């Protein structure tokens, strides 16, 4: 789950408290990756960081959003975002605890403001609008959008989608949705990526817009590749960041930034990237 003045949307300040309260009542939590270090420097960083739960880095996300975060066959939450944030958890000497929550509550900043989680890693694009309510880490992923359609649609662009009168679908609260709206479309909105794909498969939508890596992951599934194809890539110039509460704890922010920066310099980031995307950074498009 790329992706803005509204993207994968900012709530008004007045809606923040209500949204946070609803989220707290409705959402549960699950333990994701579990790892920790015991060296003195890591323990010192953990004690200095202000965490919602001692000994845990609590992370809000929204699943399913494969390959960034999703449940594997055992029910464990895994993915690219999970592995990236786990680097910061290890640096702090704590375990990562994942909370599955509505994306709109994440990107509005309400989840962190209500201390539901320390950080958010949910395939979330850094945008000026979101930065009003959220602080972001350094970018950890360069993103773009793609169009997925039934084979034989004859469309190869958004212009074709409009000219042919095809029904367009998009995931609610995402930058993909914002992008096509700015292009003059009024797409049907779906609550999450899984529902969006189901709508395409059921014929409720002829074309859907979604983050390129998500589309490429879908196309690895035989039942999807048999009937559907990517018809266009939309270069939106987006970058994902890990979200934190506004005026973030500097110790926590530094740990996340250092983990991302060091991973990119020592080869760890590339290993994680290849693990989840099958290609090196820069080779997806």
Q: What is the pLDDT of residues 104-133, one digit of tens each?
A: 999 999 999 999 999 999 999 999 999 999
- CA distances 204 to 150, 156, 193, 212, 268, Å, are 11, 19, 14, 21, 41
In CATH, the architecture of 143-237 is: 3-Layer(aba) Sandwich (3.40)
Whole-number pLDDT of residue 44: 54
Whole-number pLDDT of residue 270: 98
Q: Which residue has the higher pLDDT, 184 or 4?
A: 184
Q: What is the pLDDT of residues 124-159, one digit of tens each?
A: 999 999 999 999 999 999 999 999 999 999 999 999
The rounded mean pLDDT for the chain is: 87
According to CATH, the topology of domain 13-141+239-277 is D-Maltodextrin-Binding Protein; domain 2 (3.40.190)
Q: What is the pLDDT of residues 43-56, one digit of tens each?
A: 555 558 999 999 99
What the block records as the tokens of 193 is 């990526």
How would residue 39 be classed by pLDDT, with cut points 50, 70 and 90?
very low
Residues in the chain: 285
- CA distances 220 to 3, 216, 282, 283, Å, are 21, 7, 19, 17
Residues of each domain in the chain carrying CATH 3.40.190.10: 13-141+239-277, 143-237
Q: How far apart are CA 117 and CA 112, in angstroms?
A: 5
Residue 146 sits at the vertex; the CA angle it makes with 144 and 151, to the nearest 5 degrees, is 165
């Amino acid at each position: 789950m790329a992706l803005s003045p509204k993207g994968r949307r900012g709530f008004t300040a007045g809606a923040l408290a209500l949204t946070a309260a609803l989220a707290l009542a409705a959402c549960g939590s699950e333990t994701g990756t579990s790892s920790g270090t015991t060296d003195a420097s890591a323990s010192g960083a953990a004690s200095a960081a202000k965490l919602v739960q001692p000994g845990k880095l609590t992370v809000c996300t929204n699943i399913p959003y494969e390959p960034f975060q999703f449940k594997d066959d055992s029910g464990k939450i895994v993915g690219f975002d999970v592995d990236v944030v786990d680097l910061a958890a290890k640096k702090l000497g704590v375990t990562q605890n994942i909370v599955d929550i509505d994306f709109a509550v994440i990107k509005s900043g309400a989840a962190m403001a209500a201390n539901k989680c320390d950080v958010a890693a949910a395939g979330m694009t850094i945008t000026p609008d979101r930065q009003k309510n959220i602080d972001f880490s350094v970018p950890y992923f360069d993103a773009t959008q793609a169009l997925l359609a039934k084979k034989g649609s004859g469309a190869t662009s958004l212009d074709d989608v409009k000219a042919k009168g095809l029904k367009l679908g998009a995931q609610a609260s995402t930058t993909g949705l914002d992008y096509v709206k700015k292009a003059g479309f009024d797409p049907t909105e779906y609550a999450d990526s899984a529902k969006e794909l189901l709508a395409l498969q059921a014929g409720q939508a002829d074309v859907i817009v979604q983050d390129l890596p998500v589309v490429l992951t879908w196309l690895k599934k035989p039942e999807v590749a048999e009937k559907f194809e990517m018809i266009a890539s939309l270069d939106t110039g987006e970058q994902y960041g890990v979200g934190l509460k506004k005026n973030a704890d500097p110790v926590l922010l530094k740990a996340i930034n250092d983990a991302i920066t060091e991973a990119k310099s020592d080869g760890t980031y590339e290993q994680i990237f290849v693990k989840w995307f099958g290609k090196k950074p820069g080779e997806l498009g």
